[in-house]
Chain A
Amino acid sequence: DTGVSQNPRHKITKRGQNVTFRCDPISEHNRLYWYRQTLGQGPEFLTYFQNEAQLEKSRLLSDRFSAERPKGSFSTLEIQRTEQGDSAMYLCASSFSGGTGELFFGEGSRLTVL
């Protein structure tokens, strides 16, 4: 499978706990994006990387959220001190900056905060 891979697919946690999601992009893609999608809404941009550099962060990304892409390959999204409002699907996408910019999405990591 050469698509975007996300793990875990579903995470249930208690309020106040930390969670981490991992994304493995398509291997030749140098851009990686994180989006958040809540029920009945379209995905909302959180942040993106070109190689290992984090180039933009949305205002939606509070201080409790941190994303890394240490070697320009996989990325992690950590949420500290989770709140019930963090419950959502966290989508990762990748693209090739030299192409048309089409984003290829993973299947997402669903977070449920109790």
Chain B
Amino acid sequence: QKEVEQDPGPLSVPEGAIVSLNCTYSNSAFQYFMWYRQYSRKGPELLMYTYSSGNKEDGRFTAQVDKSSKYISLFIRDSQPSDSATYLCAMSIYTGANSKLTFGKGITLSVRP
């Protein structure tokens, strides 16, 4: 079993839909949770970063963490064609001094106009 599992894709939604992306993890030592967006043939870019259970909102994006269930989610409201990309969840045990990340395999999202 991998340390981080991400819902398989691909996922295709119409413009304006609410998108839910999910990851589960097995290592209870993970304390810091991130979502990265990766466009085709580009490097990942950080979307959201959180370290506590609960919700964190940034514009159309909401990151949710449930440490008791070892489950994290990313919600995208009013999805746009420009949101079409691969979304990667990532986690780390430490921050600052040692922020080696463990990634999920990613899910490819396509938002249809």
Contact = CB atoms under 8 A, between A and B. Distances in A.
Given A45-B101, A101-B92, A4 B43 contact: yes
Contacts, number: 68
Place the interface of chain B in its size category. 20 to 34
Contacts of B90: 42
Contact of B99 (A6, A101, A106, A110): A101
A103 B106 contact: no
Interface stretch (B14-22, B44-52, B61-69): B44-52
B30 to A, nearest CB: 13
Interface of A: 4, 6, 31, 33, 40-45, 48, 55-56, 91, 93, 95, 97-108, 110
Interface of B: 4, 6, 32, 34, 36, 41-46, 49, 88, 90, 92, 94-106
